[in-house]
Chain A
Amino acid sequence: MGVIKKIPIYTESIPGGALVATNLEAVLNFGRSKSLWYLLFGTACCAIELMCTGASRYDFDRLGMIFRASPRQADLIIAAGTITKKMAPRLRRLYDQMSEPRYVIAMGGCTIKGGPFYYDSYSVEKGIDHIVPVDIYIPGCPPRPESLLEGCLHLQEKIRTQKLSEWQEK
Chain B
Amino acid sequence: MTQQELTAYIQANFDGKLTLLDTGRAEPMFEVRSENLIESARRLRDDPQLKFEFLCNLGGVDTGQRLEIVYSIASLTNHLRLDFKLALAYEHPSVETMTVVWPAANWYEREMFELYGIEVKNHPDLRPLLLPENWNQGNPMRKNWDAPDFVRMPEL
Contact = CB atoms under 8 A, between A and B. Distances in A.
A118 interface: yes
B140 A118 contact: no
A86 B151 contact: no
Nearest to B153: A119
Is the interface on chain A under 10, 10 to 19, 20 to 34, or 35 or more residues? 10 to 19
B47 interface: no
Interface string B24-58: 00000000000000000000000000000000000
Contacts of B151: 118-120
Contacts of B133: 86
A118 B152 CA distance: 9
A119 B147 contact: no
B7 to A, nearest CB: 37
B153 A85 contact: no
Contacts of B1: none
A126 interface: yes
A117 B145 CA distance: 17
B147 to A, nearest CB: 6
B153 A120 contact: yes
Contact of B132 (A86, A118, A119, A120): A86
A167 interface: no
A122 interface: yes
Interface string A51-81: 0000000000000000000000000000000
Interface string B116-146: 0000000000000011110001001000010
A22 to B, nearest CB: 50
B86 to A, nearest CB: 25
Contact of A120 (B130, B131, B152): B152
Contacts of A43: none
Contacts of B149: 126
A162 interface: no
A119 B75 CA distance: 40
B112 to A, nearest CB: 16
B132 A85 contact: yes
A119 B150 CA distance: 7
A123 interface: yes
A122 B130 CA distance: 12
Contacts of B154: 119
Interface of B: 130-133, 137, 140, 145, 147, 149-154
8 A-B pairs closest in CB distance: A119-B153, A122-B140, A86-B132, A120-B153, A85-B132, A119-B151, A122-B150, A122-B147
